A and B are shown apart, each in its own frame.
Chain A
Amino acid sequence: MFRFLSKSNNTIRKLSSKSFHPTLYASSSPHHCKSKISTIHPQIASPISSNAFDSSGSSSKPSDSRYPTGSPNGSPFFRALDRNSSFSGPQMAGNRFFSSGYLLNCKNLKNGKGNRRGFLRVGSFVGESRAFSSEPDRESMEYDVVIVGAGPSGLSAAIRLKQMCRAKDVDFSVCVVEKGAEVGAHILSGNVFEPRALDELLPEWKQEEAPINVPVSSDKFWLLTKDRAFSLPSPFDNKGNYIISLSQLVRWLGGKAEELGVEIYPGFAASEILYDANHNVIGIGTNDMGIAKDGSKKDNFQHGVELRGRVTLLAEGCRGSLSEKVLRDYNLREKAQAQHQTYALGIKEVWEIDEAKHKTGTVLHTLGWPLDHRTYGGSFLYHMNDRQVSIGLVVALNYHNPFLNPYEEFQKLKHHPAIKPLLEGGTVLQYGARTLNEGGFQSIPYPVFPGGAIIGCSAGFLNVPKIKGTHTAMKSGMLAAEAAFDVLHEGSSMEKYWDGLRNSWIWEELHKARNYRPAFEYGLVPGLALSALEHYVLKGRSPLTLKHGKPDHEATDVAQLHSPIQYPKPDGIVSFDVPTSLYRSNTNHDHDQPSHLHLRDPQIPERVNLPDFAGPESRYCPARVYEYVPDEKGELRLQINAQNCLHCKACDIKDPKQNIEWTVPEGGGGPGYSVM
């Protein structure tokens, strides 16, 4: 081990989640141990295994080999037929043994922190060259700005940067990487769009044929009980707003960005942050592609690529995997004295309904049934163009009952007598799910880190009472771009982004909206009452700031306190089972790759999740990734069908012991949203 450490290149440390660079792991692993001691990181095993490069190769995630992997939900067209799959049974055991041993050693290293720094300095005189690594270097591409995620905030930032370049007659290279197969493939949102930020970014959007065509014509708000719907005064003011498909808008934004010279690369997943010797972020690394389930390299193995940027912007959306690492690494929540982030899971379908039942521009929101008084959430129903209707249910993830199944609650909702008639005779075009931020003002972290910043929902700017986050995400992207431009052009600091945020309408808006969501900690009725107070009396000038309750994963009660909920069977007309819905999300991943869902401790599901909480992940996951199935001995074991994953991040948020870590799979996989 000593030998590995001194040989390694220490100028670049990585918090890698999936890359095939064994000697570099030797340098990265102690640092990895420092930041996340409890992670059983498979790559830690690889430097120890002497045959890191042959076909039976290094380890894959231990959870994979232990548990039978699920039957793929329809194998991908041809990648399933891999000639290179190799048997690695006993070797796996060897690697796992080593990995736990190595971790123990890491613990000691952690205590001797000073010592390790010494190693770093010893190693760093070796300089930039990676002459000692036996694998060929990963290719490295240099840009001025690297943006992770081609969503509203990422693309707004890219566009704003290029606009400023044109204005000042300079040119900075901007690269956007996107894990979806195409721009817009992973974008899902209600969406009633407030064009405030777009008006600032691209004032000519109407002439340039942005897919924003349906102005809101009516705004209804119902309180639902099992059989009835009571109309309440609408708390929303959607005049001047539009009902859109955010996926389509983002696709259009992508086109605009490319016209301005932004390089967008869909199908590439940013899986690690690149650091320099001083722990500044210098860019990101994409996933290695073509790794088989057992960890070996397939025929079409390709190294990931390093994208180095003078400024790196993380725009991964809610609970971004790299953003979460950075938030922890630089203690960005503590820096802003922010509370933890709170989340909700939104499950949505786009329907094509009867012409006669369709009324373009109608906006409907509901509260109450099917959720109970202690569970925050509600539904939305928007009439778009072309007889299309967006319908969805949003459930706050701090729900208490471990037997709650948000997907089934959504199916129940569609049977409500006020909603079912609308959908009957229609067809579902697409289905999907995604988590969203509900923390608002209280949860905004300090979004600047050395080398870059976090923008959009990865930081968390969603306005909960308005249930809109697109406009604030876009504006945050624009502000970060302006700060980044000054960093590149004048050498100023990214801190300007933080100042920009606090002086912008984002701050003012989120400040005014800060007490609505926390009020519901006290229940539905107190929540409504306090919200009415905020809205009609205090008008955002409340002297107090209510705090959030427990973090979502801690809010789950033990199963003993509740009883299982009997959900009705799907009728196939208005409600459906998960596999049918999943098919409509166009989701797929190359099945022959290691599971991207890591269990920090592979025993916790059977030791804690199942007995104490009745396996809640088998219920809140909208894609049936997690299933408890009996093994040969008849005992229930967790089976992870990673191929189904919709990239919603609910498991990363809601797992009671925070044992599930969502990492990014091979780029190009995941859902294929086009009208969501």
Chain B
Amino acid sequence: MKIMVAIKRVVDYAVKIRVKSDKSGVETSNVKMSMNPFCEIGLEEALRIKESGLASEVIAVSVGPSQCVDTLRTGLAMGADRAIHVEASATLYPLSVAKLLKALADVEKPGLLILGKQAIDDDCNQTGQMVAGLLNWPQGTFASKVVLDKEKEVATVEREVDGGLETLCLDLPAVITTDLRLNQPRYATLPNIMKAKSKVIKKFTPQELNVDIKSDLEVIQVTEPPKRKAGVIVSSVDELIDKLKNEAHVI
């Protein structure tokens, strides 16, 4: 069984982000980029499943500009067998990415498609769910535990939901999106990074996959949230009511 893992190249989590002066987006030039932490967790889970003998191959997939190759190399250094890069320079929103992943899944026919639950740059939390819908595969999102049963061809997924933990049993092939507590990703070792340099990365374009990536969304403006104003200490309840009514206009 093949496992396909979708990874995204995002601004590194430790970087302090700034909004561009023209308010068109977040400053990404001269800023450190790395693999989305949730995608790292997804890749780690795939590698563990492969190491337990339940899968034959782990394929790392990324959609984006040419620098995505660096992120894929990190994935290969962690232990993925192959990588696929879909080159697209424009900003892609979840639906376009989901369509591309569906096209790739039709080509590669994996038994499991693992994604991170969301990317830390846009926090959309949509791609996994959308691709499951497009493929008509069952989905186990926010997974905090995954157990595969090869004979019965099912995956038992424990999900973190608002009310606690929910356990689902999914028929394979299925889509799983990972949450924080699923595992702790391994470090890519130096020798593996070296070996990864020679592993092959297959390239596709959206046209080759017959996918229309034109989006129905357009980002008009990105601004920083308003600065928090200092609090005011009021001296009596009357003053509080007065302020709430006349200044904040909430009552």
Partner-B contacts on A (CB < 8 A)? 76-79, 81-83, 139, 141, 181-182, 185, 248, 263, 265, 268, 286, 289-290, 298-300, 302-303, 305, 307, 427, 429, 583-584, 586-588, 672, 674-675
User: Within B121-157, which residues are at the interface with A (CB < 8 Å)?
Assistant: none
Q: Does A139 contact B191, Cβ atoms closer than 8 Å?
A: yes
Q: Does B184 contact A302, Cβ atoms closer than 8 Å?
A: no
Q: Which listed residue, B18, B184, B191, touches A79 by the CB 8 Å rule?
A: B184
- Residues on A with C-beta less than 8 A from B194 are 141, 263
User: Within B177-194, which residues are at the interface with A (CB < 8 Å)?
Assistant: 180-181, 183-187, 189-191, 193-194
28 contacts between A and B (CB under 8 A): A76-B14, A77-B37, A78-B37, A78-B180, A83-B184, A139-B189, A141-B194, A181-B14, A181-B34, A185-B32, A265-B193, A290-B187, A300-B184, A302-B186, A302-B187, A302-B189, A305-B189, A305-B191, A427-B18, A429-B18, A584-B16, A586-B14, A586-B15, A672-B12, A672-B14, A672-B32, A674-B30, A674-B31
Interface majority SS (helix, strand, loop, mixed), chain A: loop
Q: Does B41 contact A78, Cβ atoms closer than 8 Å?
A: yes
- Pick from B13, B14, B18 the residue with the most CB of A within 10 Å: B14
Q: Does B184 contact A672, Cβ atoms closer than 8 Å?
A: no
Which 6 pairs of residues, A with B, have the shortest CB-CB distance?
A588-B14, A77-B13, A299-B184, A300-B186, A305-B190, A302-B187
- Residues on A with C-beta less than 8 A from B37 are 77-78
Of chain A, the residue at the smallest CB distance from B191 is A139
Of chain A, the residue at the smallest CB distance from B27 is A429
- Tell me, rounded to whole Å, the shortest Cβ–Cβ distance linking B199 to chain A: 16
Q: Does A141 contact B32, Cβ atoms closer than 8 Å?
A: no
Q: Does B16 contact A675, Cβ atoms closer than 8 Å?
A: no
- Tell me, rounded to whole Å, the shortest Cβ–Cβ distance linking A357 to chain B: 16
Complex Cα spacing A562 to B235, Å: 43
- Residues on B with C-beta less than 8 A from A141 are 190-191, 194
Of chain A, the residue at the smallest CB distance from B184 is A299
- Residues on A with C-beta less than 8 A from B186 are 290, 299-300, 302
Q: Does A76 contact B13, Cβ atoms closer than 8 Å?
A: yes
Q: Does A81 contact B181, Cβ atoms closer than 8 Å?
A: yes
Complex Cα spacing A429 to B186, Å: 32
- Residues on B with C-beta less than 8 A from A300 are 184-187
Of chain B, the residue at the smallest CB distance from A263 is B194
- Tell me, rounded to whole Å, the shortest Cβ–Cβ distance linking B197 to chain A: 9
- Tell me, rounded to whole Å, the shortest Cβ–Cβ distance linking B163 to chain A: 20
- Tell me, rounded to whole Å, the shortest Cβ–Cβ distance linking B69 to chain A: 13
Complex Cα spacing A286 to B120, Å: 30
- Tell me, rounded to whole Å, the shortest Cβ–Cβ distance linking B214 to chain A: 33
Q: Does A675 contact B190, Cβ atoms closer than 8 Å?
A: no
Complex Cα spacing A77 to B15, Å: 12
- Residues on B with C-beta less than 8 A from A672 are 12, 14-15, 32
Known: A139-B190, A182-B32, A675-B30. 9 other contacts (CB 8 A): A78-B180, A81-B184, A299-B184, A302-B187, A305-B189, A427-B18, A583-B16, A584-B16, A587-B14
- Residues on B with C-beta less than 8 A from A289 are 187
Complex Cα spacing A522 to B18, Å: 46
Complex Cα spacing A83 to B186, Å: 14
- Residues on A with C-beta less than 8 A from B187 are 289-290, 300, 302
Of chain B, the residue at the smallest CB distance from A248 is B30
Of chain B, the residue at the smallest CB distance from A668 is B187
Q: Does B190 contact A82, Cβ atoms closer than 8 Å?
A: no
- Tell me, rounded to whole Å, the shortest Cβ–Cβ distance linking A352 to chain B: 8
- Residues on B with C-beta less than 8 A from A429 are 18
- Residues on A with C-beta less than 8 A from B15 are 586, 672
Complex Cα spacing A299 to B182, Å: 12
- Pick from A77, A289, A305, A675 the residue with the most CB of B within 10 Å: A77
- Residues on A with C-beta less than 8 A from B41 are 78
Given A141-B191, A305-B191, A674-B32, decide whether A81 and B14 contact each other with a Cβ distance below 8 A: no
- Tell me, rounded to whole Å, the shortest Cβ–Cβ distance linking B48 to chain A: 10
